[in-house]
Amino acid sequence: MLPSIDALKTHAIFLDLDGTLVEIAEHPDAVRVHPTTLRLLEALNDESSGALAVISGRELSAIDRLLHPLKLPAAGVHGLERRDASGVLHTAPSAQAPPISFVFEKILGDETGVVIERKPGGVAVHYRLRPDLERRCCQIVKEIVGQRKDLRLIHGKMVFEILQKGADKGSVINAFLGEPPFQGRVPIFAGDDVTDEAGFAAVNSHGGISIKVGGQETDARFRAKNVQELEAWLRDLIENARGEQTP
Ligand SMILES: O=P(O)(O)OC[C@H]1O[C@H](O[C@H]2O[C@H](CO)[C@@H](O)[C@H](O)[C@H]2O)[C@H](O)[C@@H](O)[C@@H]1O
């Protein structure tokens, strides 16, 4: 059961993208954000007076492409990039490290159907189209991460992500909460995947509202069954907030 909230102006809203605002698709490039979802985000942004940020594993440029024409405060590559509410870009120094994606291209090659997504400070190895190659991908990523102290490994939804250390979704949520217009507000964070757990921990430590989308194990305090249930709840937030303002 999701909590009811009347005043959005006292809350800071953080939303994950894939699997939270949009359904998971077969290929990262196949994802489209429906215009009604864009309108929902616009309304949340208005009703919270700009205290809305997207916290994603995708790089910032990909987030902007998906949410066009909206350009919201956002964190990309699981926290390695962050654009604050005044539009200033903060990049973890490690995000500039040389890419390691060539290793995968060399070993796996595009023809296998394994999708290699390069991002600043990271590479995602998607095996959704070739689940039979999970073990092989796992072997390769573990070997690389085992040799490099500067890297960490995330096993997300049909994806292995190798990332430079230096940030996570929790640290960027904390960074937003230290700045206006997020500062002093009760944080809300909704996400669906393992990488969102760091965000849930940060939000829980502020006494906020952490929401897991889907059925997997989590430290989030609340749960939405799926993308639709979360979206319906977000719509209610807007209606309640607007209702509050009506004399
Ligand atoms: O933090 P998020 O916004 O949830 O991003 C996590 C990763 O999402 C994308 O991959 C996932 O979604 C794809 C499209 O639905 C799907 O094909 C893939 O299997 C999923 O792992 C994105 O491509 C990654 O860069 C993000 O890190």
pLDDT at 246: 47
Cα of 18 to ligand 1 centre, how many Å? 5
Closest residue by Cα to atom 8, ligand 1, is 18
Question: Which of 2-11, 47-56, 230-239 is predicted with the least confidence, judged by mean pLDDT?
Answer: 2-11
Q: Does the pLDDT at position 230 exceed 60?
A: yes
pLDDT at 109: 61
pLDDT class of 118 with cuts at 50, 70, 90: confident
Q: What percent of the chain is predicted at pLDDT more than 70?
A: 91
Q: Does the pLDDT at position 96 exceed 70?
A: no
pLDDT at 135: 92
Cβ–ligand 1 contact at 214 (below 6 Å):
no
Cβ–ligand 1 contact at 169 (below 6 Å):
no
Determine whether domain 95-164 maps to CATH 3.40.720.10: no
Q: Does the pLDDT at position 86 exceed 60?
A: yes
* From 16, 18, 64, 168, active-site residue: 16
Q: What's the CA gap between 23 and 32, in Å, rounded?
A: 9
15, 16, 17, 18, best to mutate for ligand 1 pocket (most atoms within 8 Å of CB): 18
Q: What's the CA gap between 169 and 149, in Å, rounded?
A: 20
pLDDT class of 106 with cuts at 50, 70, 90: low
Within the chain, all domains assigned CATH 3.40.50.1000 are found at 8-92+167-242
Q: What's the CA gap between 32 and 22, in Å, rounded?
A: 8
Contact between 124 and 117 under an 8 Å Cβ cutoff? The reply is: yes
User: Is 16 one of the annotated active-site residues of the chain?
Assistant: yes
pLDDT at 247: 47
The CATH number for 8-92+167-242, chosen from 3.40.50.2300, 3.40.190.10, 3.40.50.1000, 3.90.1150.10, is 3.40.50.1000
Closest residue by Cα to atom 5, ligand 1, is 57
- The pLDDT mean for the chain works out to 92
Instruction: Write down the H helix ranges in 51-95.
Output: 60-67
ipTM > 0.95, yes or no: yes
Q: What's the CA gap between 158 and 130, in Å, rounded?
A: 9
Q: Does the pLDDT at position 7 exceed 90?
A: no
Q: Does the pLDDT at position 95 exceed 70?
A: no
Cβ–ligand 1 contact at 118 (below 6 Å):
no
